[in-house]
Amino acid sequence: MGKFKEFRIGDLFDIQPTKSYGLTNPKLFATCGKIPVIVNSSRDNGVGGFVDLEPTEKGGIVTFSDTTTADSIFYQPNDFIGYSHVQGVYPKKPEKWSKKSLIYFVVNFRKVTAGRFNYATKFNRKIAVELKISLPVTTNGDIDFPYMENRIRELELARIRELVAYLKVTGLTDYQLTADEEDFLENYRKNGGG
């Protein structure tokens, strides 16, 4: 295992509110579409629904809610619409951070916040920027992005192998994918998912 070093989150990321439409829920969710609305939720990757409005934020960032627990920290792979009290965690050097390295970051960000916040003790951006997170580093002390990407890739492959073994044991290997599922898998592969 390589070396690790603590980094202040505010030195790596800018944290600010995501852009929202400022609409009431009935107006915001009046249409059904494909654009996710990231809300104050600790479930479903923070997605509160899908609408037919233009995204307010680019995907490829981390979000969290400052009105719930720190369980609301998620990587957002797609363009989305922000919501009141949803904070965007924007890399200061976006060219260095990939999907997999941001997922690695999310896991560790959640680890340092676990059990520290609740509905009475709010988790907010002022606290988040001061938190320190342990990340792998190269011999010269720089963040080891390839290590993080490879570690997430290894974990994904291990889970896929477990799923394939489970499907085989349970006799669920004879399946037919829908056209939408085939498209999803193709897009997932094209975007570095597997």
* Burial state string for 32-46 with b = 16 or more CB within 10 A and e = fewer than 16: eeebbbbbbbeeebb
Q: Residue 19, SS3? A: coil
pLDDT exceeds 70 at position 192:
no
pLDDT exceeds 80 at position 188:
no
Residue 97's nearest CA partner among 70, 129, 125, 58 is: 58
**Which fold, 3-190?**
Adenine-n6-DNA-methyltransferase TaqI; Chain A, domain 2 (3.90.220)
Residue 15's nearest CA partner among 65, 58, 56 is: 65
Provide, rounded to the nearest whole percent, the portion of the chain with pLDDT above 90.
Answer: 66
Domain chopping of the chain, boundaries: 3-190
pLDDT score at 193: 61
Q: What is the gyration radius of the CA atoms in the chain, in angstroms?
A: 18
pLDDT score at 157: 84
CA distance 190 to 149: 16
Residue 28's nearest CA partner among 46, 48, 45 is: 48
pLDDT score at 14: 97
pTM above 0.75, yes or no: yes
**29 exposure class (CB count in 10 Å sphere: 0-12, 13-18, 19+):** middle
> How does pLDDT run across 84-104, given as a tens digit for each residue?
999 999 999 999 999 999 999
> How does pLDDT run across 22-66, given as a tens digit for each residue?
999 999 999 999 999 999 998 999 999 999 999 999 999 999 998
CA distance 101 to 151: 9
Residue 181's pLDDT band, with cuts at 50, 70 and 90, is confident
Mean pLDDT for the chain overall: 90
Residue 1's pLDDT band, with cuts at 50, 70 and 90, is low
